[in-house]
Structure 1
Amino acid sequence: MHLLTSDRLTKSQLLLLLRELGYAPRFHSSVSEMEDALEGSDSNTLILIDLSTQISTSELDTLVKYKKQYRIIGFERLDTNSTSNLLIPAHTFETAIIIPSNGERAKLRLKNALKLGGQKQKSTRAPFGVRHRPMSTLSKLAKTALDKTEAISSRYIITESPASYTLLKTLKAASTQEGAFILEAKEEVEFELIAREFNYLSNSDKAALFIIQPENLRIDSLEKLERAATRDGIPINCYVGRTDELDEVAASELELFCNYLSNLRNPHARLIVGHEIGTEDLYREGVATHMSSLFSKAKRIQIPSLRDRPSDIPTICQLTLSHLRSAHPFLFVHRVSQEAETYLSEQRNHYSYTKLVRILRNAIALSKRETLSVEDIKNYGESDMTTQHLLETMADESYFPQSANF
C-alpha cells in the first residue's frame, strides 16, 4: 500500500489506523517520489491519496493515469479546525472518502473503503462514507481547486493566494484581447514579471516579451513590430515600463501607437504599461495629457498588494533563495526558517513585492548562517534609502563581485 500526503498529522493518524487494519503503508510526500516507488508494482497495488495535497497540473495528469493501473482511493481528513480547501479534485477518483476525527469511526470507514477498493468497483452500493460519481458535496468543496489545477497554470508569478490567482485569471482573459493594457497597483509591484506572465498566457512564449526602454519608444518601430506580428500570426506583447518613467516624447509616441492599434481590424501587437497609483505628481512635464488619453482607451488590470497575498510569501522566499544559490552556490544560507517566513508574512503590510525580494536578497547574501532567521531579516532590513544602498553595496562586494563591476 502506498499513501500520498504531505500533512504530518494525517500521516500519524493513518499510520496507526492502517496498522490496526493489518496494512503497512509506505508514505510519500510528493507524486514524483511515489512514482519512483511504484515502478514494477502490479495492478493490485492499493494507493490512498490525500485530496488536500498540493500538486501541479502535470502531477494531476499522472494520478489520472494511475486510475487505469492501480486501485486508488482519495480521502479527506475531517478536521473542524482546518480551513484548507481540496487541492486535488474529488471526482478524480472513482472512490473518495471523508475520514472523521473519531478513531473508531475513521477505522470503520477506512475498512469499508479498502474492502470496496479490492472489488474492482463491482458493488453498486457504496458503504456509508464512500462516494462515487457524481459526488456533489465533495465536488462543491473542490470547485476552487478544480479551477486552479485544470484551468490555468502560471509560469512567472506566484499564485498560491486567492488574490494572486484571481489576477492570473484576469490576465488569462485579457491575453485574448487587443490594444493597450495598464497594470495598476497601489504600491511597487513586479510589473515586468506580470507582463511576462501576460505574454506566456498570450502566446506560450512562442514570441518573447519585448521590453522597450522609454527613450526607444518610436511609432515607426512599433508599427514594424505590429506588421511582423501580423505576418507571423503570433501576438507580440510590448512592455514599456512605468508611467512615471516616461518623458513627453515617449508618452506622445505611446499615445499615437495606441490610436494606430485601435484603427486596425485585427491588431497583433499589444502595449503593456505599469502604473503605481499616487505617482502622478512624479510625471515629467507634458506627460499628464498623453497619459489621460491613454488611460481612457487602455484596459486596466488591478494588481493586488502584497498585504493581500500572505500565502505567496513562503514560496517567494524559497524561490528567491533557490535562484540566488543556483547562481552563487557558495552562499552560507541553505534554507529560510519557517519563523522567518511567518515573520515576513506578519510584516507584509510594510512591504511591497520588490522590497520583500530586496530584503531577502540582502539577508541571504550577508548572513553567515545556514538557516536564514528572523534576526537576519531584521538586521538586513531597510529603514531608509541610505540603508538600502549600503546593504546592496555590501552584498555586491561580498558575494556578488561580478555585479559590483557594472
Structure 2
Amino acid sequence: MSIHILTQNSEVKTRLGAFLDEMGKKYVFHDTLLTLEKKLSRLKKTDAVFYDLQLEEHIWAFEPIYLGSRKTHMVVFEPSDTGSVNYSPMGNEHFLILSKDDARTKKRLITLFHELTKLSAPRKAAKKKAKKKAVAKKKATSQTTDATATTPVAEAPVAAVTQTTRYLQANSDAMKHFAAELKEAAGKHKFTMLQGEDGAEFELAARELNFQANGDISPLIVFDPMNLKSQELEELAESAMAAKVTQYCYLGLTLELNSQSVSEIASFLGHLKMQLKEQDTYLHLIIGHEIESESCFPDNIRPTLDAVRGTSHLLQIPGMASRADDISAIAHSIFSMLRMAHPFLQARSIDSSAIKHLEAECAELDYSRITRVLRNAMALGRSPTLTKDELLSFRDNSPTTQHLMESLADEKYYPSAPQ
C-alpha cells in the first residue's frame, strides 16, 4: 500500500508520519494539489489518498481528488482541535479525526487500514457461499419463524433450554459445536489462537475458554497488545504455578500487535520451552486473529508473527451467517447491558420486528456490528421501543451516524486525561 497525503500542517505531518512509520506504511506528503494530481492516475486499488479537510476552504481540492482517485480509496481527515464543525463531504466514505491523544489516533488508523485492506481484497468464494446459504435457509424457514414468533418461552421443551456457556450465546448448531471444542481444549494448550471474521466476539470467547478451564476462580487477564512485556508474562506464569491454578491471558488481536509485542511473545514462549515443562505450565495465552487480516501486518514483523502463530492451537469462531438462532439472545443481552450503562436513554424495550430484522440480515452481520447498530438506535432514537424502523434509520453503515457517535466520544467534548 502506498499512501499519498495532502496537507500543509507541519504538526500533522510529524505526528501522522510517526504513526505510519511505526506501522511500516509507505507514504508521501504533498503540499499542493498539483503535485498530488500527477500521481492520481497511477495509483492502484490498494493505495490510499489522505486529504486534510482544513485545506478545503482555501484550495477546494476535494472534488478533483475524489474524481481522480476512483481507482483507490480517499480518506478525509481533520485534527480534532481545529474548532470547525467536522463533516465528511458528500460521497466520501472514509473520515478520520486525528485525536490529540496518540493512542486514540493510532487505534483509529489501525481500524481504518484494516477496513481499506478488506475493501481492496477480493472476497473469497467460500465466504460468499456461506452468506448465500444462510440467506437461503432463512427464506425457507421464514414462514415457520413468523408463525412461532409469539409462542411463549414457557411452552418450549425444557430440554431445549440447556445452558452450556457463560459468556457466549450458543443456541445455533455451529456455536454448540464451537462451545464443545472450547470445553475440550480448556487447559490443554499453552498458546491458543481464536480465529474468526472481522467483528467476532474474540474476547468473549477468550473469557469462555478461561471459564471452562478454571470456573472463573481466576478471571481472564487482558493485556494491551501494543505494550506487551515478556517479564510480566513470566511473573504471571510463576504466580499461576505457585497457586496451581490454570490462568488464561488474552493478548488482543494479531492486527493490533507491533514489532516489540511480537518479539515479547516469542521471547516468553521461548522461556516456557527452555525453563518449564509443558505439563507444569499453568499460564496459557490466547490471541485473536481476524480472517484475511494478514495483509495488514507490517513486513518487519510478519516472519516472527507467522512463527508464533505456527506454535498455537487453532479454534475457529463460527461466522454470524450460520448463527441466526443466536441473534435473539445476543441482541437482548447487548440491549440489557446498554440499558444498565445508560438508563437515561429513551429505549426501554426491543420489539420482535427488530429481532426478526437482525436474524434476516445475519449473513451481513457480526457481533461488533450488532452492538453498534443497537447502540446507535438507542443513543439517537426517540422511541421507547426499538423496532425495525429504528435500526434502519440509524444503521451502522451510515457515515453520518458513525461520525456523530465518534464526535460525541472525542476529546472536543470529553477532554483527554493528563498524560
Same fold (TM over 0.5): yes
Paired with 1:241 and 1:267, the residues of 2 have a C-alpha distance of: 21
What SS does the corresponding residue of 2:226 show, helix, strand or coil? Answer: helix
Following superposition, the deviation at residue 405 of structure 1 comes to 5.8
Q: Which of the numbers 275, 295, 301 marks the counterpart of 2:315?
A: 301
Following superposition, the deviation at residue 29 of structure 1 comes to 5.9
Residues 106-165 of structure 1: per-residue CA shift (max 9 Å, x gap): xxxxxxxxxxxxxxxxxxxxxxxxxxxxxxxxxxxxxxxxxxx3xx72111111211112
Residues 232-264 of structure 1: per-residue CA shift (max 9 Å, x gap): 000111111100111111101112222333442
Following superposition, the deviation at residue 382 of structure 1 comes to 2.2
Q: Any residues of structure 2 matched to 1:3-42 within 5 Å, and which?
A: 30=154
Q: Which of the numbers 358, 379, 404 marks the counterpart of 1:344?
A: 358
1:53 is the counterpart of 2:157: yes
CA contact (8 A) 1:359 1:382 kept: yes
CA contact (8 A) 1:188 1:354 kept: yes
Residues 200-251 of structure 1: per-residue CA shift (max 9 Å, x gap): 1111111121111123312221111101000000011111110011111110
Residues 5-43 of structure 1: per-residue CA shift (max 9 Å, x gap): xxx99x99xxxxxxxxxxxxxxx965xxxxxxxxxxxxx
AA matched with 2:245? I
AA matched with 1:356? I
1:381 is the counterpart of 2:392: no
Following superposition, the deviation at residue 285 of structure 1 comes to 3.8
Q: Any residues of structure 2 matched to 1:233-244 within 5 Å, and which?
A: 233-244=244-255
Residues 166-223 of structure 1: per-residue CA shift (max 9 Å, x gap): 1111111111303101001132211111111111111111112111112331222111
Paired with 2:239 and 2:399, the residues of 1 have a C-alpha distance of: 43
What SS does the corresponding residue of 2:160 show, helix, strand or coil? Answer: coil
Change (3 A) 1:163 1:228: same
Paired with 2:306 and 2:377, the residues of 1 have a C-alpha distance of: 41
Q: Any residues of structure 2 matched to 1:280-359 within 5 Å, and which?
A: 280-359=294-373
CA contact (8 A) 2:328 2:355 kept: yes
The one of the two structures with greater contact order (alpha-carbon pairs below 8 A, sep at least 6) is 2
1:268 is the counterpart of 2:372: no
Change (3 A) 1:162 1:262: farther
What SS does the corresponding residue of 1:216 show, helix, strand or coil? Answer: coil
AA matched with 1:154? T
AA matched with 1:343? H
Q: What's the counterpart of residue 160 of structure 2? A: 87
Paired with 2:403 and 2:308, the residues of 1 have a C-alpha distance of: 35
Show structure 1 runs of 5+ residues with no match.
1-7, 13-27, 31-49, 55-85, 89-148
Q: What's the counterpart of residue 183 of structure 2? A: 172
Alignment length, in residue pairs?
Answer: 265
Q: Alpha carbon RMSD of aligned pairs, Å?
A: 2.6
CA contact (8 A) 2:189 2:313 kept: no
CA contact (8 A) 1:176 1:202 kept: yes
Q: Any residues of structure 2 matched to 1:110-149 within 5 Å, and which?
A: 149=162
Paired with 2:260 and 2:351, the residues of 1 have a C-alpha distance of: 48
What SS does the corresponding residue of 1:158 show, helix, strand or coil? Answer: coil
Change (3 A) 1:242 1:29: closer
Provide TM-score, normalisation by structure 2. Answer: 0.59
Q: What's the counterpart of residue 265 of structure 2? A: 254
What SS does the corresponding residue of 2:265 show, helix, strand or coil? Answer: helix
What SS does the corresponding residue of 2:218 show, helix, strand or coil? Answer: coil
Show structure 2 runs of 5+ residues with no match.
1-146
Paired with 2:263 and 2:237, the residues of 1 have a C-alpha distance of: 18
CA contact (8 A) 1:179 1:262 kept: no
Q: Give the number of the structure whose alpha-carbon radius of gyration is greater.
A: 1
